[in-house]
């Protein structure tokens, strides 16, 4: 099968979408399939045998820290030249809109996947007035696909409520061999804690953006100097966050990759996740695979991954006091150990192969259905 993936983000960018795609592509190739990726041109031309076709990338007015490829007639030419068996458009918005349009117009089997709660983000960027328009736009794009994927049951319910058609849940995955407690490192703990290795080390990993609500973590640091915070990642909100956390026991590392990232997870004490706008929250699975207990805001996607008092603790996101109170419970080392062991044990059954095979099965099904209806 020749699979053409058109995505708004790919290597060398680092986020949950790219992580899922790279693992899936690796699996597809091992199963003997051909994969071509169309993405913003960030200098990467190949990934483990898969060709990457880069399109001109530019900054977007409302999100200037990232480069995007915009709608282009070149996408039509690429589809016609590649003549794929299936087109998968990931997070259609800009270049993905062209992918949806031309795959549909040329009558190719089309799968689209929804990974980012852009309409919800409008509240954090002071453009709430555009939420109905954003829902209309994304519904229009996704309803041209033969099948839509999303990453949690709660998001599926939301998309169903907004009249998205033919939505199925794409299972979670995590690299349980790479993220594990064996990467624990005194040097990394020293780096993340600013040398205060005897204190309780909180860890946040992710894109630094307003919708992540990272500011909430400061309430814990203000309450007690027995906590230190390591923030791993980068993004448009980093400058504001560095000012906001000035004077606290907080270390910003920027992006970490490979063994450094695995070591960051394994060397901390508690993973904190204040965001309520995620469609999945892959970092939660990575943290649990590393044996970290999690403190997360109650939301649909987090509750699908975490049972309160088992793999971690859930708090009421509307209450700063509840966040502080919940994190402080983990001053109890025996509780941290129990949650850590449960989180690690529960996540071991998970990997990337199952969700990748699920995607392949869907590709075959959609392609056959399209062939039968033409």
% residues pLDDT > 70 (the chain):
97
Distance (Å, rounded) from C-alpha 247 to C-alpha 32? 54
Kindly write down the DSSP assignment for every residue of 238-264, as one continuous string. Answer: HHHHHHHTTTSSEEEEE---HHHHHHH
Q: Are 228 and 194 in contact (CB under 8 A)?
A: yes
Res 348: pLDDT:
86
- Domains by residue range for the chain, with CATH: 2-173+352-373 (3.40.50.2000), 181-347 (3.40.50.2000)
* Phi, psi torsion values for 367, nearest 5 degrees: -65, -40
348-359 per-residue burial string, b: 16 or more CB within 10 A, e: under 16: eebbbeebbebb
pLDDT per residue over 344-369, tens digit each? 998 988 889 999 999 999 999 999 99
- Average the pLDDT over 216-243 and give the result: 94
Distances (CA, A) of 267 to 48, 203, 259: 30, 9, 12
**Cα-flanking dihedrals φ and ψ of residue 266, to 5°?**
-70, -20
d(CA 328, CA 200): 10
Determine the Cα–Cα distance for residues 297 and 319; give it in Å rounded to an integer. 10
State the maximum Cα–Cα separation within the chain, in Å, rounded to a whole number.
Answer: 66
pLDDT of residue 319: 83
- b/e per residue, 66-84, with b = 16+ CB within 10 A? bbbbebbebbbebbeebeb
Q: What confidence tens digit (pLDDT) does each residue in 29-81 have?
A: 999 999 999 999 999 999 999 999 999 999 876 565 678 899 999 999 999 99
In this structure, the number of other CB atoms found within 10 A of the CB of residue 45 comes to 9
CB 70 within 8 A of CB 94: yes
User: Using an 8 Å Cβ cutoff, are 51 and 19 in contact?
Assistant: no
Angle of helix 16-30 relative to helix 282-289, nearest 10 degrees, comes to: 70
Burial environment of residue 10 by CB neighbours within 10 A (0 to 12, 13 to 18, 19 or more): buried
CA distances from 333 to 74, 203, 251, 339 (A): 57, 16, 23, 10
Binned at pLDDT 50, 70 and 90, residue 124 comes out as low
What is d(CA 144, CA 148) in angstroms, rounded to the nearest whole number? 9
Structural element, H or E, at residue 53: strand 50-55
pLDDT at 299: 84
198: part of which helix (H) or strand (E)?
none
Burial of 201 (0-12, 13-18, 19+ CB in 10 A): buried
- Render pLDDT for 312-340 as a digit per residue (tens, 0 to 9): 999 998 887 999 999 999 988 899 999 99
CA angle, 221 then 223 then 228, to 5°: 25
Q: Which two tokens mark 127?
A: 């453009």
């Amino acid at each position: 099968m020749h699979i053409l993936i058109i995505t708004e983000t790919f290597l060398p960018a680092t986020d949950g979408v790219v992580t899922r795609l790279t693992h899936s592509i690796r699996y597809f190739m091992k199963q003997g399939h051909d994969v071509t990726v169309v993405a913003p041109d960030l200098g990467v031309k190949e990934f483990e045998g898969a060709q990457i076709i880069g399109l001109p990338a530019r900054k977007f007015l409302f999100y200037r820290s990232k480069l995007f490829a915009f709608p282009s007639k070149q996408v039509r030419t690429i589809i016609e030249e590649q003549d794929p068996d299936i087109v998968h458009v990931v997070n259609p918005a800009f270049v993905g809109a062209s992918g949806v349009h031309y795959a549909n117009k040329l009558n190719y089997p089309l799968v689209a996947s929804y990974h980012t709660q852009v309409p919800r983000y409008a509240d954090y960027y002071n453009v709430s007035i555009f939420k109905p328009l954003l829902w209309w736009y994304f519904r229009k794009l996704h309803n041209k696909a033969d099948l839509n994927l999303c990453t949690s049951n709660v998001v599926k319910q939301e998309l169903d409520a907004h009249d998205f058609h033919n939505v199925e849940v794409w299972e979670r995955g995590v690299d349980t061999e790479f993220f594990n407690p064996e990467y624990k490192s005194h040097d990394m703990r020293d780096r993340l804690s600013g040398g205060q290795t005897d204190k309780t080390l909180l860890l946040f990993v992710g894109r630094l953006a307003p919708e992540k609500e990272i500011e909430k973590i400061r309430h814990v640091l203000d309450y007690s100097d027995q906590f230190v915070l390591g923030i791993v990642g980068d993004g448009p909100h980093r400058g504001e966050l560095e000012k906001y956390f000035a004077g606290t026991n907080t270390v910003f590392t920027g992006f970490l990759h490979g063994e450094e990232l695995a070591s960051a997870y394994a060397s901390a004490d508690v993973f904190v996740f204040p965001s309520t706008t995620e469609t999945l929250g892959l970092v939660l699975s990575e943290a649990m695979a590393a044996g970290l207990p999690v403190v997360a805001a109650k939301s649909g996607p987090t509750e699908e991954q975490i049972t309160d008092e088992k793999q971690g603790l859930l708090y009421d996101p509307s209450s700063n006091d509840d966040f502080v109170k919940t994190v402080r419970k983990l001053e109890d080392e025996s509780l941290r150990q129990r949650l850590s062991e449960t989180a690690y044990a529960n996540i071991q059954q998970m990997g990337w192969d199952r969700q990748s095979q699920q995607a392949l099965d869907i590709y075959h099904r959609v392609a056959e259905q399209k062939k039968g209806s033409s």
